[in-house]
Amino acid sequence: MRILLIGAGDVGMPIIHHLSEEGHLLTVIESDEEKCREISEHSDAAIFNGSGADLEIWRDVEAEKMDALLALTNDDEINLVACQIAKKEFGIPLVIARAHQPENIEKIREAGADIVICPSQEIRRLFLNALESPELETIYENMAAGFKIVRVTIPLNGSVVGRTLGQLNIPEECKIIGVFRGNRLIYPDESLMLKGGDSVMLYGSAEAVEEAAEKLRSVEVT
């Protein structure tokens, strides 16, 4: 996959290393020369020193050939402009952007981002989820698209313990990605019998996922 990444800061740098290790064809635009040198020492990415809001540098990196954009700078205005350029000038299929401030999420989405992630908002949500529902972990949620990925831990006295996946009767708009049993990931075959302590990964429409998660979290009343 050909990926253009803008911003090699606290969020961007670890992603650069990961994508490089995964074998993606990575191009990075970074305004800080020192960070550009650091990237070159630890990654085989193509590196361009400049601003992600500069249309000329987009032409230099041949943005029209990119499959995806990651706009990850600490400046929401640059990320917004980058999303506009990606969609309107070069038609990049997948645009993912960071929002430093929660109030800018919708603006960046309207500028062309397919997915907007606000780290501060995500961290707050994860802590609140852990506090309020320790057996339910939200991995990813796109409220605008109504899409959600969660991990649900089945209680030891759960009402679904002893049932197979095929017997769960969960909504069609919700799919099971896999089942974690201890440190082992099990393929979600319909004949798989659930045990207390299993963690089930679900994805789909938010409403359907929440309905399925509620069923998996329910307990036997004695």
Contact 197/168 with Cβ under 8 angstroms? Answer: no
Given this model, what pLDDT does residue 112 score? 96
Domain 133-217 belongs to what architecture?
A: 2-Layer Sandwich (3.30)
pLDDT at 220 over 60: yes
Average pLDDT estimate for 56-77 = 96
User: Cβ(38)–Cβ(14) under 8 Å?
Assistant: no
Average pLDDT rounded to a whole number, residues 14-36: 92
Of 9-23, 91-105, 166-180, 198-212, the one with minimum mean pLDDT is 9-23
Predicted confidence (pLDDT) at residue 114 exceeds the cutoff of 60 = yes
Domain ranges of the chain: 2-120, 133-217
Of the chain, the end-to-end C-alpha distance in Å amounts to 53
Q: Which of 28-42, 105-119, 140-154, 163-177 has the lowest mean pLDDT?
A: 140-154
- Residue ranges in the chain assigned as alpha helix (H): 12-21, 33-42, 55-60, 76-84, 105-111, 119-132, 206-217
- Calculate the dihedral angle through the C-alpha atoms of 170, 176, 181, 185, rounding to the nearest 10 degrees: 170
Same fold: 2-120 with 133-217: no
Q: Which of 89-93, 124-128, 150-154 has the lowest mean pLDDT?
A: 124-128
Domain 2-120 has CATH 3.40.50.720: yes
Average pLDDT, stretch 123-136?
Answer: 69
